[in-house]
Structure 1
Amino acid sequence: MSEKSIPLHSLHVGVAGVAVFPIAQADLTPDIRREIVVPHRHDHYSCFFTRQGTLHITIDFQPVQLTAGSLLVSWPGQIHQVAPPYHFQGWILVADAKLISPQARSFLEQAFTSPALLQFTPAENDWFQHLFLALHAATTSQSSLFHTEAGHALLNACMAQAVKLLDAQQQQQQQAHSRRSLALTRQFRHLLQQDFLTSKKPAAYAEKLHVTVSHLNDTVKAMTGFSVSYFIQQEVLAEAQRLLFYTDLNVQEIADQLGYEDVKYFSRLFAKGVGVAPSLFRKQSQSTQPG
C-alpha cells in the first residue's frame, strides 16, 4: 500500500544551527496557521517558552497546555501540532540536535515524564527570559567572529538548566522512592520504545531487565501511577494512531505490523484505549486536514 508523506519541518537557520524567535499570535500568518495545525515532525529540537497567555500543543497525540511561565521541550521525530485559539506571547528556540550535549539529550528522551514540560517559578521565569533575550541577540548579531560560539554556549546553558529543573521536578514528584527505582523505570521506558512491536507482555521486559514481573510492575506503578501493561498499550496505541493518520494501510495491515494476528482483537483494544474504532479515528483525523 502507498503511504502518505509525513510532514517534516527541517531546520533552516544557516551554519549556526540554532535560532530564537520572539512570537505572538499576531505573528501567525494564515499560511503559518495552516502549516502548524496539521500534525508534523521536526528534524531538530524545539523549545516553546510561553511568557503570556496560553498555548495548546499536542505532542505524540497527548494534549499539552502551556500557561504563562511554561517551557516545553520537543525533540526530533516527535509528532506535534499547535491548536487554536492562539492567545499567547513568548519565544521559540530551534536547534540542531548535535549541538546539544549527549547527556542532556539522553535525559530528555528517556525521561519517564513525557512530554518534557516545565512550569517556572517567577525567578526561573526571569532567568529564562534573560537567557532567551541573550540567545536572540547572539544568534542575530554578525558583529563578532564569536557570535556562533556564544549562541552554542547559551543554547547548552538553556538545555542544561531545563534538564536540571526537569530532574528536580521528577525527584520532587518521586521523592519517596529510591534512585534505583527511578533508574529501573527509565530503563523500562527506554526498552519499551525499542521493543514494543515485538514484546507485548510485561514478562519480556522483566526478563531483559533481570527483575521479576511483580518487582518491575510494582516499581513502575509506584513511580508513575501506571502499570507496565498500561505503558505497553499506550506505546502500541500511539503507533497505531500514527499509522492510521500517516499511511494508507488498512486496519488488518496495521494490526499485522503491530504484531496482532487477530484484527478484531486489535480493533477492540484500539477502541477501548482511544475511544473510537480505528476506521472512525482515521475518518476524524482526515477531516482535520486542510484542503
Structure 2
Amino acid sequence: MFSDFGIRLRRVTPSRGEAVPVSYSHQDDYYIIGLVEKGTGCGIIDFKECRFSEGDIYLIQPGQVHRFVSSEEVEGWLLFADSSFIGSMEKNIFDNFSLFASSVRIDKRRMDELKQIASILADRIDCIADELMKTTVRRLTEAFTGIVAEVVREIGLQQAKQNRRQVEIVLSFRRLLSEHLAENRYPSYYASLLNISPVYLNEAVKKVTGMNVTLYIKNEVVLQAKRMLVHTDLAVKEISNRLGIDDYAYFSRLFTQATGISPSTFRQRNLK
C-alpha cells in the first residue's frame, strides 16, 4: 500500500511470499523500519550482516546500501517513510543508534502498540480521501516512529557507556564528514569546524568507535566507494574522483587494503 506523500507500509507474511522484500543490493533515500513479529531473518546493511528475530526492530537509514539475504517464516511490518516524517529529535536518536547497532529487541507493550498503529495505518493509507485524512496518516506515522525512537534511545543509553559529550562530538563529526569528505580528509580540518583540538577529536572518536580519526575517515571513504560501486554505473576512476582522490592508483590500494579485494572485484561480487 502506498500514499502519494511519502509513506509506504507493507505487511510481511510467509504466505504472501514477501518475507524477503528485496534480495539485491540497493539504496534508498528514505527510512525503513522493520517490525518482526515472528520468524527469523538475515540482511546486509552497509555491507555488514544484520540478523533479526521475533521481537526485533531493525532500522535502515537513507543512503545505506542494503539487501535481504534469507528468512524463515517471517511475519511483521515494513514502514517506508520519507525523511520529512522523522522529527529532528528522532533523527538524532537514530543517528546515535547507528553508531552501535542496526536492530534492537522491543518490549511486549511497545510491540503491541506498534502492531496496533501499523494495522490502523494500513487501513488509513488505503483510503485517503482528503487533507484531514492525510494529516491523520501523518500523525499515525509520527506516533509509530516516535515509539521506535523511544526503544532505540533506551537501548542506546544502555549500550553507550561513552561520555555523552564525546558521542555528540562524533555525531557532529560524522555529519560534517558526509558533507566535506570529497573536499578534505584531514582530521585537523574537522577539529577546526568543531572548535576542538585534533587531539580531543581523536580521543572522542576512538572512545566511541574504537578507531582513530584517520582510520575512521579512510573507512568512510571505503564505505562511500562501496555504495557507489554497488548503486551506480560509474567507472572506478570516476568514483575515485568523486571522493576527491585524483590518484586512482592510491584509491585502488586504499580500497584493496581495507577490503582484501579490488574495487572491480567488489562490484562483481555484490552485483550478483
Give the TM bin, normalised by the shorter chain: 0.7 to 0.9
Q: Equivalent pairs: percent with the same residue?
A: 25
1:101-112 residue pairs with structure 2 within 5 A? 101-109=87-95, 112=98
Which residue pairs with 1:6 in the alignment?
none
TM-score by length of structure 2 reads 0.85
TM-score by length of structure 1 reads 0.80
Contact 2:110 2:147 in 1 (8 A): no
Contact 1:46 1:93 in 2 (8 A): yes
Opposite residue 35 of structure 2, the aligned amino acid is F
Which residue pairs with 1:285 in the alignment?
270
What is the total number of aligned residue pairs between the two structures?
A: 272
Contact 1:37 1:82 in 2 (8 A): yes
Which residue pairs with 2:125 in the alignment?
139
Contact 1:108 1:116 in 2 (8 A): no
* SS of equivalent residue, structure 1 residue 36: coil
Q: Distance in 2 between matches of 1:130 and 1:227?
A: 44
Give the drift of 1:47. 1.5
Change (3 A) 1:259 1:100: closer
1:225-240 residue pairs with structure 2 within 5 A? 225-240=210-225
Give the drift of 1:191. 0.9
Contact 2:38 2:54 in 1 (8 A): yes
Which residue pairs with 2:86 in the alignment?
100
Give the drift of 1:248. 4.2
Does residue 119 in structure 1 map to residue 120 in structure 2?
no
1:1-291 residue pairs with structure 2 within 5 A? 13-15=2-4, 17-28=6-17, 36-109=22-95, 112-113=98-99, 116-140=102-126, 147-175=133-161, 177-286=162-271, 288=272
Give ranges in structure 2 of 5+ residues lacking alignment: none
Give ranges in structure 1 of 5+ residues lacking alignment: 1-11
Give the drift of 1:161. 1.8
Provide Cα deviations, 1:190-246, integer angstroms capped at 9, x if missing partner: 111111222222222112111122211111221232322232122111121223234
Contact 2:55 2:111 in 1 (8 A): yes
Q: Distance in 1 between matches of 2:184 and 2:128?
A: 52
For the aligned residue pairs, the C-alpha RMSD in angstroms reads: 2.9
* Farther-moved stretch of structure 1 (16-25 vs 213-222): 16-25
Opposite residue 77 of structure 1, the aligned amino acid is G
Q: Distance in 2 between matches of 1:156 and 1:28?
A: 28
* SS of equivalent residue, structure 2 residue 158: helix
Kindly report structure 1 stretches of 4+ aligned residues shifted beyond 4 Å.
109-112, 141-147
Provide Cα deviations, 1:139-169, integer angstroms capped at 9, x if missing partner: 3456998543332222111111222222222
